[in-house]
Amino acid sequence: MCGIIGFTGSKPAKNIIIDGLEQLEYRGYDSAGLALLHEGKITVKKRTGKVAELRKLCEEDDNPATCGIGHTRWATHGGVTDANAHPHRCGQVVLIHNGIIENYKQLITEFGLGGKLISETDTEVVAALLDTFYEGDPVKAIKKTVNALSGAFALCIMFQDIPDTIFSIRNVSPLIATASSEGSVIASDLTAVIAFSKEYFVVPEYHILTLTRDGIDVRDMKGNEVKPEILSVNWDITSAKKGGYPFFMLKEIYEQPDAIRNTVAPRVSQGLPDFSTDGIDDEVLLSCKRVTVVACGTAMHAGMVGKHVIESKLRISVQVEIASEFRYKNPIIDKDTLTIVLSQSGETIDTLEALKLAKKNGSRVISIVNVKGSTIARESDYVLYTHAGPEIAVASTKAYTVQVSAMYLIACKMGMVKGILSEGEAKHFMTKLINAPNIIEDTLKMANDIKRIANHIKLAPNAFYIGRGLDYTMSLEAALKLKEISYVHAEAYAAGELKHGTIALITENVPVIALATQEDVYSKVISNIREVKARGAYVVLVSMDESVEDPAICDKHIRIPKLEPEFTAFATAVILQLIAYYTSEAKGLDVDKPRNLAKSVTVE
Ligand code: AGP
């Protein structure tokens, strides 16, 4: 996905746009650019690289323009080049885009646009088409253009002959906007808008916005004026700053205790789970005969932890689906299935489309989302918002543990309403969940000890995480974290399965992080560890043992406190996050913005 911002007001736009792009950079950082409109002249500055490169490019430019648009790109169509960077200009039109235009090649042929194009992007095709349709009436030209488009788009547009005005329209890709005393602002998400106002609105799909310094006009495609619902931000701008940490990821790892407290506490009354403020009726949990969980990446891994608890405690079947697979497998899902969707951003297109398919099949959807008013939240029957605050680092950490916490809340509530858990059992479970932040705080005290492990991993071409049961589930998240920010190829493996082939990869000094926190399978995992140790692996054992003196079992032992099996997840989660973080840092990488990635994937 990409980050887009537009500003028109009483102040020079250049630095406002660049500052806003810095806030949006986590959405994509292959290239960055801006366009300024001043006295009938459009100036475009863009280049590959991060927003800092754009700032350098513009620092000599004292353009007084008070109207402009800016874009930070995660490449989809066309390589990472200056020419493919946004904004794209064609004739009277300049625009920026987040999304994918699926029929852009047909449009080139149908409207003979080839001669107008210099880039490889779908976005430039939109600019060329709009310029073709533009005969002085911007709204008419925009309508005609978007009627020809298929796919997801969030567009911010300026016309050279319409001063100090930005037009915008979206379909699926996110946009929010606000009018403040300084001017009107539109952006991909709150991080770029909060500096202007704590109030904002979500841009309705297929509505044309006209932003001027005096305010924002919103009209549907028939021209009817619309007043969107005004929302207010539930966090402040410092939440979107590093606060003295070297990287957002480390800050967000340390924010986890408060993130969980803020997510769980509002849903506890008299020691029991309570969703009344979320508007989730008991009947929704009572009536379901099975549960399907749909998500992507880390969010899916959080769902898998939830599966483990629901199945082990409630004996209710839970199917966890990769959203991009679910959409095309003709899933077995019906009105008796409760679908739980997890998404930090609430904008992941695969998850959104899977949600729509679940609803189409009659299933009711509860979504666990961290961004208020996001698309997935608005499409769901019920929303259980997590309150982790903005998660800026591409690698998800606090969002993961609050998603796990939310799944535990659902499991406990479902157990109660179905009469599977007694009030006493539910209260006991909730006591442990309320204690989860303390587990994390205790684990964070081991950060320096965990940091030393990074030295054994940072040069390894491969690493393995192994475990059984919940520990295997945690290994999946551990491997993803390590891969995505340190580029060490990591694989999660069911400990008992390793000997069926993959153990062939275990040679001298290959790092194997073995999770052995589940007492019912502890001895089996220890046996599996001996198998890899005997082949020269460098083994880090994570367990509740007071101490492990036997060098035949591990080279390094990380002890977690004695915990009930499902609550070990809060300790192992932090350990795996820190191992990944310190490995990436030791390699001198940009931990927050790993190569090729973006914070939320709004393309399929
Ligand atoms: C996790 O570290 C990754 N950033 C990625 O797997 C992410 O969890 C996934 O893209 C889902 O994003 P979402 O939670 O915003 O839907």
pLDDT in tens, 304-330: 999 999 999 999 999 999 999 999 999
Q: How much is the pLDDT for 600?
A: 75
- In the chain, the amino acid numbered 439 is I
Determine the distance separating the centroid of ligand 1 and the alpha carbon of 261, expressed in angstroms.
22
Q: Which regions of 214-330 does DSSP assign to beta strands (E)?
A: 215-220, 231-232, 268-269, 272-273, 290-295, 318-322
Q: How far is CA 184 from the centre of its chain?
A: 26
Residue of 345, 371, 401, 584 best suited for mutating to test ligand 1, as the one with most atoms within 8 Å of CB: 345
Ligand 1 pocket residue status of 594, Cβ below 6 Å: no
Q: Write the residue with the smallest CA distance to atom 9 of ligand 1.
A: 297
Q: Which regions of 331-441 does DSSP assign to beta strands (E)?
A: 337-343, 364-369, 382-385
Number of helices (H) and strands (E), helices first, in the chain? 20, 26
Determine the distance separating the centroid of ligand 1 and the alpha carbon of 348, expressed in angstroms.
8
Give the residue-averaged pLDDT of 387-403. 96
pLDDT higher than 90, residue 40: yes
Determine the distance separating the centroid of ligand 1 and the alpha carbon of 299, expressed in angstroms.
6
Are 384 and 275 a contacting pair, CB within 8 Å?
yes
pLDDT higher than 80, residue 218: yes
Q: How confident is the model at residue 561 (pLDDT cuts 50, 70, 90)?
A: very high
Q: How much is the pLDDT for 167?
A: 98
Give the residue-averaged pLDDT of 146-167. 97
Q: How much is the pLDDT for 227?
A: 97
> Quick one: which atom of ligand 1 is closest to the CA of 599?
4
Pairing of strands 538-543, 290-295: unpaired
Give the residue-averaged pLDDT of 291-310. 98
487 burial via Cβ count (<10 Å: 0-12, 13-18, 19+):
middle
Q: How confident is the model at residue 496 (pLDDT cuts 50, 70, 90)?
A: very high
Rounded to whole angstroms, how far apart are CA atoms 406 and 385?
Answer: 9
Q: By three-state DSSP, how is residue 427 classified?
A: helix
Share of the chain above pLDDT 70, in %: 100
Torsion angle in degrees (nearest 10) through CA of 286, 288, 290, 293: -100
- Give me 42's structure tokens: 């459009």
Give the residue-averaged pLDDT of 135-152. 97
List active site positions: 2, 599
pLDDT higher than 80, residue 233: yes
Name which of 221, 229, 227 is nearest 143 in CA terms.
Answer: 221
DSSP-assigned letter for residue 312: I
392 burial via Cβ count (<10 Å: 0-12, 13-18, 19+):
buried
Ligand 1 pocket residue status of 297, Cβ below 6 Å: yes
Q: How confident is the model at residue 298 (pLDDT cuts 50, 70, 90)?
A: very high
Ligand 1 pocket residue status of 42, Cβ below 6 Å: no
Q: How much is the pLDDT for 78?
A: 83
Strand-pairing partners, residue 68, are 7, 36
Q: By three-state DSSP, how is residue 331 classified?
A: coil
DSSP-assigned letter for residue 314: I
pLDDT higher than 90, residue 373: no
pLDDT in tens, 237-288: 777 788 889 999 999 999 999 999 999 999 999 999 999 999 999 999 999 9
Name which of 271, 287, 268 is nearest 406 in CA terms.
Answer: 268
- Give me 521's structure tokens: 């399978």
pTM: 0.86
Name which of 560, 552, 507, 504 is nearest 529 in CA terms.
Answer: 552
Name which of 487, 597, 604 is nearest 28 in CA terms.
Answer: 597
Q: What is the CA angle 61-11-153, rounded to 5?
A: 80
Are 155 and 118 a contacting pair, CB within 8 Å?
no
For the chain, give the mean pLDDT.
95
Q: How much is the pLDDT for 4?
A: 97
Q: How much is the pLDDT for 441?
A: 98
562 burial via Cβ count (<10 Å: 0-12, 13-18, 19+):
exposed
Q: How much is the pLDDT for 25?
A: 87
pLDDT in tens, 445-470: 999 999 999 989 999 989 999 999 99
Give the residue-averaged pLDDT of 360-374. 95
Return all residues near 420 (Cβ < 8 A) that are at least 6 apart.
313, 314, 315, 414
Ligand 1 pocket residue status of 402, Cβ below 6 Å: no
Are 34 and 17 a contacting pair, CB within 8 Å?
yes
Name which of 14, 35, 128, 33 is nearest 80 in CA terms.
Answer: 33
pLDDT higher than 90, residue 110: yes
Torsion angle in degrees (nearest 10) through CA of 231, 237, 240, 241: 180
Rounded to whole angstroms, how far apart are CA atoms 148 and 103?
Answer: 9
DSSP-assigned letter for residue 225: B
Where on the phi/psi map is residue 140: left (φ > 0), alpha (ψ -120 to 50), or beta?
A: alpha
Where on the phi/psi map is residue 429: left (φ > 0), alpha (ψ -120 to 50), or beta?
A: alpha
Q: How much is the pLDDT for 29?
A: 84
Q: How confident is the model at residue 21 (pLDDT cuts 50, 70, 90)?
A: very high
Rounded to whole angstroms, how far apart are CA atoms 122 and 598?
Answer: 19
- In the chain, the amino acid numbered 568 is T
Q: By three-state DSSP, how is residue 590 classified?
A: coil
Rounded to whole angstroms, how far apart are CA atoms 179 and 193?
Answer: 10
Rounded to whole angstroms, how far apart are CA atoms 459 and 179?
Answer: 50
Determine the distance separating the centroid of ligand 1 and the alpha carbon of 504, expressed in angstroms.
31
Determine the distance separating the centroid of ligand 1 and the alpha carbon of 386, expressed in angstroms.
15
Determine phi and psi for 42, rounding to 5 degrees: -100, 130
pLDDT in tens, 402-437: 999 999 999 999 999 999 999 999 999 999 999 999
- In the chain, the amino acid numbered 110 is E
Name which of 97, 131, 82, 136 is nearest 111 in CA terms.
Answer: 131
Are 565 and 517 a contacting pair, CB within 8 Å?
yes
Ligand 1 pocket residue status of 296, Cβ below 6 Å: yes
